[in-house]
Every structure is written in structure tokens, then in C-alpha cells.
């Protein structure tokens, strides 16, 4: 008799304890562990490495993410875990074309086999969000405010995860309350069209909505007025400034729908010009709605001062990772073994700088590159189940990403001219 659907849970999401119990894995891992135990092979100690299988088109590097949850998942197991630090910019392959191991687990295979699936998911999503944010940040430059508006564009259960890694990747803030709470930040946002629609209907003028926002919101909330609800963006922007006052308003937000957008950059230019002509040159222009890495540069050149980005980061392409056993420990010695198409043996990833560029080299464990300033990237985070190296605060990781971004280009390998 087939299993009946279980509709008892409030939302169709995996609970943290269910992930820890291995219920969010592929069933063949459960069967594999059972087979190994029956033949008393569950104590076989392996080295299993995670590498990038493929990247989206034009991605020549990624920002490594997802490690935070991986460490919590593996904590308490009889394993050692080595990983590239979170936030490290890495290419899929080194200077000779070898795949970079980003994470390695050493321990009895049966003790962690059921976690391959969620680990791959954590890495795929974390790296995907962080990399997309970093690409947008690199194109936008250092000083343009970018807020993650993506909570409405993804499943609410993972919205805080998206917020966390978009912030690490270079965004300035997030709008989701829980995402901001996890980061230890204040959530940032403006106002919805609904507020202005209600004031238009009830008060006869949606400018009353802008005034109410200014009246009731704390002074630390920037006065960014939505200026495209009922009429032309220029007309509404001027009206908003005059309603709130040029000394109180921070800026206007244009969220022009696709059916009215036309040439969005030209709209921005016109708003910017006419604000300046009337003495409102300090009023900023904040944009949202369908903005991605292919449009943000043009909009900045047109005069945009900040962005709320949703779909581009919430729907960021995930990074495909794979896990493979690459060695088995026999009599305290690592014996290289893996499947065809993969490189066997325990490895180390080295990075060094030359002429202001990053170079990466994968070598067998114990072998050092000839370059004297090379640093090993795979470091031990867990020893026999205990986390011995904690991740830094998100602000520190974010700064680490931003410092590396200065040395890479969007669609080039780190060492490319």
C-alpha cells in the first residue's frame, strides 16, 4: 500500500531537527549506510572532497558561501572538516585546470553519508546568493547603497539565508526583519504603493501618505518617498519633495512597472535634471524593480543613487557542487582512490598574488608551491566533531569579500588580463 500524504505540518519546510536527523537527504544514502553496517564496513574512514561541478554562464569565479550551516550540521560527528574560509573568491579550477576542493571531510563515511545532500544544498545556495551580490557590487562600485528586497521573491523559509549571503557578498542592508535580525542590523526599506493608494482614496491626495510617513516614522528612518504610483515620475518626485520638504526628504524611489518603463535610464536622467533645476540637487534617486547586473551600470551613469534589488539576487543561479571520496585511510595511511573523471588523493589549495592578481594552485597534501607568498586555503574548522575555528562576524566576512573584489573583474578569471 502506498504511503499517504502527510498534510499535518503548518508549512512545507524541513525543520532544523529534521535536517539533522537526515530526513532532507536522498534515500539512497540511508540505504547505503544500512548496507555498510550490515557488512561491518561502517567504520571505513574516508576523505571526501567537495568541488564545483559547474558555474552559470560567464561566471569565472564565485564567492564561497554556505559554510556557516555546514559546520552546524556536522558538529558533533566523529569527523574532521577542512574548508576554504567563507567569503573567499575562488575560480572553479586552478591555473592548470584542476578543480578546486572547497571543503573536505575526513572520518567514517557512514557517519556523514546522509548529509551529502543538505551540504550540497547549503553550498549551492550560499555561494549562489553571495556571488550574485558580489557581481552586482563590483559593477556598481563601492559607494552605491544596495538593499536586498528579495524576501518576496523567494520561499520565506530561506529569505533570511538569502539576506545573510547577499550582505556578505557586498549588499549594504536587507529589508526582511528576520534577515536583518540574524545579521544584527536594522531592516531597511521605503513604503509600498498600498499606503499611497489608501491615502489617495480616503484623503483625496496621495501626498497625504508621504506626509503621514514623515510624521509617524522615527527620525532614523530615511525619508524615501515612492514617486510613481499615479502619475509621471518627474511630476510625482517634485510633488513629494514639496510635500515633505527638501530639508527632510532623503530621496525618491522609482519602482516604475515594466509596461511604463520605456527607457528607464532616460526617466532617471529627466528626474535628476528637473530636481536639480528647481534647487533640489540633494534629493537622491533610489530605484527598484527588475534591476540586474546588466542594467545597473547604465542606471548609475544616468544618475541613480541607490537600489533595492529583489529578483536578481533571490533568483540567483545556484552553484553546482559535487562530493566525491578521494582517499581511504588504511593503517593510518591515506590510499588515493576515486571514481573516473575525478582526481584522487588528499589535496591542498594554495593562493598567491602576483602583479596584483590572484593565482590558485591545487597540489597533493604536503606539497608546497614554489611561490614563497602562497597561502593554504583549506583550513581545519572541525576536529573530531568539535568546532575549533569559528566563523568571523558577517561584517568582517563582508569586508573580506570587498577587499578581494578590488582585484577581480566580473567576467574574467582572477589571473586574467
Domain match, 158 and 305 both: yes
Indicate the SS3 state at residue 206.
coil
Which of 180, 160, 131, 211 minimizes the C-alpha distance to 16?
Answer: 160
CA distance 399 to 402: 5
List, in order, residues 6 or more apart from 172 with CB less than 8 Å away.
145, 146, 147, 188
* Joined grid coordinates for residue 61: 569565479
| Pair 83, 378: CB distance under 8 Å | yes
Looking up residue 109, the CATH number of its domain turns out to be: 3.20.140.10
Mean pLDDT of 13-23: 95
Domain match, 147 and 288 both: yes
How distant, in Å, are the alpha carbons of 49, 161, 283, 344, 354 from that of 116?
11, 19, 51, 19, 36
pLDDT band, residue 2 (cuts 50/70/90): low
Backbone angles phi, psi at 211, to 5 degrees: -65, -40
* Joined grid coordinates for residue 366: 604536503
Domain match, 281 and 393 both: no
- Looking at every residue in the chain, the average pLDDT score rounds to 96
Domain match, 206 and 227 both: yes
Looking up residue 210, the CATH number of its domain turns out to be: 3.20.20.70
Domain match, 297 and 329 both: no
Could you give the strand order of the β-sheet that contains 306-309, starting from the edge strand earlier in sequence? 173-174, 146-148, 306-309, 284-288, 251-254, 224-226
pLDDT in tens, 308-327: 999 999 999 999 999 999 99
Is residue 141 scored above 90 in pLDDT? yes
Is 11 domain-assigned? no
CA distance 141 to 218: 30
With cell 524593480, the residue in question is 289
Which of 22, 303, 256 minimizes the C-alpha distance to 144?
Answer: 303
Domain match, 290 and 169 both: yes
Length, in residues, of the chain = 417
Is 416 domain-assigned? no
Is 2 domain-assigned? no
Is residue 1 scored above 60 in pLDDT? no
List, in order, residues 6 or more apart from 133 with CB less than 8 Å away.
63, 146, 148, 165, 166, 167, 168, 169, 170, 171, 313, 316
Domain match, 94 and 235 both: no
**Residue that finishes a domain, picked among 279, 314, 349:** 314
**Residue that finishes a domain, picked among 245, 279, 314:** 314
Indicate the SS3 state at residue 191.
coil
Is residue 261 scored above 90 in pLDDT? no
Indicate the SS3 state at residue 355.
coil
Is 10 domain-assigned? no
Nearest-Å Rg of the Cα atoms of the chain is 25
pLDDT in tens, 221-250: 999 999 999 999 999 999 999 999 999 999
CA distance 106 to 80: 5
Mean pLDDT of 249-265: 85
The DSSP code for 238 is H
pLDDT at 259: 66
| Pair 380, 389: CB distance under 8 Å | yes
pLDDT in tens, 264-295: 999 999 999 999 999 999 999 999 999 999 99
Domain match, 334 and 273 both: no
Mean pLDDT of 41-67: 97
| Pair 359, 89: CB distance under 8 Å | no
* Joined grid coordinates for residue 50: 567537495
Is residue 9 scored above 90 in pLDDT? no
Which of 408, 363, 313 minimizes the C-alpha distance to 95?
Answer: 363
pLDDT band, residue 349 (cuts 50/70/90): very high
| Pair 252, 287: CB distance under 8 Å | no
Is 413 domain-assigned? no
267 exposure class (CB count in 10 Å sphere: 0-12, 13-18, 19+) = buried
Domain that holds residue 283: 140-314
Domain match, 259 and 151 both: yes
Helix (H) or strand (E) holding 81: strand 80-83
CA distance 412 to 417: 8
pLDDT in tens, 152-191: 999 999 999 999 999 999 999 999 999 999 999 999 999 9
pLDDT band, residue 404 (cuts 50/70/90): very high
Which of 386, 322, 325 minimizes the C-alpha distance to 105?
Answer: 325
With cell 529569505, the residue in question is 159
Domain match, 181 and 231 both: yes
Is 23 domain-assigned? yes
| Pair 158, 315: CB distance under 8 Å | no
**Structure-model confidence comparison of residues 61 and 262, the more confident one:** 61
Tally the domains of the chain.
2
pLDDT at 3: 74
CA distance 318 to 303: 31
Is 71 domain-assigned? yes
**Residue that finishes a domain, picked among 257, 285, 314:** 314
CA distance 308 to 294: 15
Domain match, 161 and 119 both: no
Mean pLDDT of 323-343: 97
Is 3 domain-assigned? no
The DSSP code for 317 is P
Domain match, 336 and 292 both: no
Amino acid at each position: 500500500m502506498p504511503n499517504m500524504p502527510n498534510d499535518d505540518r503548518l508549512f512545507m519546510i524541513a525543520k532544523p531537527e529534521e535536517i539533522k536527523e537526515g530526513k532532507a537527504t536522498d534515500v539512497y544514502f540511508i540505504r547505503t549506510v544500512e548496507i555498510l553496517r550490515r557488512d561491518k564496513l561502517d567504520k571505513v574512514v574516508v576523505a571526501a572532497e567537495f568541488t564545483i561541478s559547474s558555474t552559470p554562464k560567464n561566471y569565472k569565479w564565485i564567492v564561497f558561501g554556505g559554510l556557516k550551516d555546514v559546520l552546524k550540521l556536522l558538529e558533533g560527528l566523529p569527523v574532521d572538516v577542512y574548508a576554504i574560509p567563507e567569503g573567499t573568491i575562488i575560480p572553479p579550477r586552478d591555473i592548470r585546470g584542476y578543480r578546486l576542493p572547497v571543503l573536505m571531510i575526513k572520518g567514517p563515511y557512514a557517519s556523514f553519508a546522509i548529509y551529502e545532500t543538505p551540504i550540497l544544498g547549503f553550498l549551492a545556495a550560499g555561494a549562489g546568493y553571495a556571488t550574485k551580490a558580489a557581481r552586482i557590487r563590483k559593477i556598481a562600485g563601492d559607494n552605491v547603497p544596495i538593499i536586498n528586497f528579495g524576501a518576496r521573491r523567494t520561499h520565506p523559509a530561506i529569505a533570511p539565508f538569502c539576506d545573510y549571503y547577499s550582505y556578505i557578498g557586498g549588499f549594504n542592508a536587507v529589508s526582511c526583519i528576520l534577515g536583518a535580525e540574524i545579521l544584527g542590523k536594522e531592516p531597511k526599506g521605503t513604503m509600498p504603493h498600498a499606503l499611497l493608494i489608501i491615502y489617495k482614496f480616503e484623503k483625496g491626495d496621495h501626498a497625504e501618505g508621504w506626509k503621514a510617513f514623515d510624521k509617524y516614522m522615527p527620525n532614523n528612518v530615511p525619508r524615501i518617498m515612492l514617486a510613481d504610483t499615479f502619475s509621471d515620475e518627474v511630476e510625482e518626485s517634485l510633488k513629494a519633495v514639496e510635500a515633505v520638504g527638501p530639508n527632510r526628504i532623503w530621496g525618491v524611489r522609482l519602482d516604475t512597472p515594466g509596461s511604463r518603463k520605456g527607457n528607464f535610464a532616460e526617466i532617471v536622467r529627466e528626474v535628476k535634471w528637473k530636481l536639480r533645476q528647481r534647487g533640489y540637487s540633494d534629493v537622491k534617486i533610489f530605484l527598484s524593480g527588475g534591476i540586474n547586473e546588466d542594467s545597473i551600470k547604465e542606471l548609475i551613469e544616468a544618475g541613480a543613487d541607490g537600489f533595492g534589488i529583489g529578483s536578481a539576487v533571490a533568483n540567483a543561479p545556484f552553484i553546482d557542487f559535487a562530493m566525491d571520496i578521494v582517499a581511504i585511510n588504511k593503517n593510518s595511511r591515506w590510499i588515493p582512490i576515486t571514481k573516473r573523471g575525478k582526481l584522487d588523493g588528499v589535496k591542498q589549495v594554495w593562493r598567491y598574488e602576483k602583479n596584483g592578481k590572484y593565482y590558485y594552485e591545487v597540489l597533493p597534501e604536503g606539497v608546497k608551491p614554489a611561490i614563497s607568498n602562497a597561502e593554504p586555503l583549506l583550513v581545519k574548522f572541525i576536529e573530531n566533531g568539535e568546532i575549533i575555528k569559528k566563523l568571523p562576524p558577517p561584517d568582517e566576512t563582508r569586508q573580506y569579500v570587498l577587499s578581494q573584489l578590488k582585484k577581480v573583474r566580473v567576467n574574467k578569471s582572477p589571473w586574467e588580463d
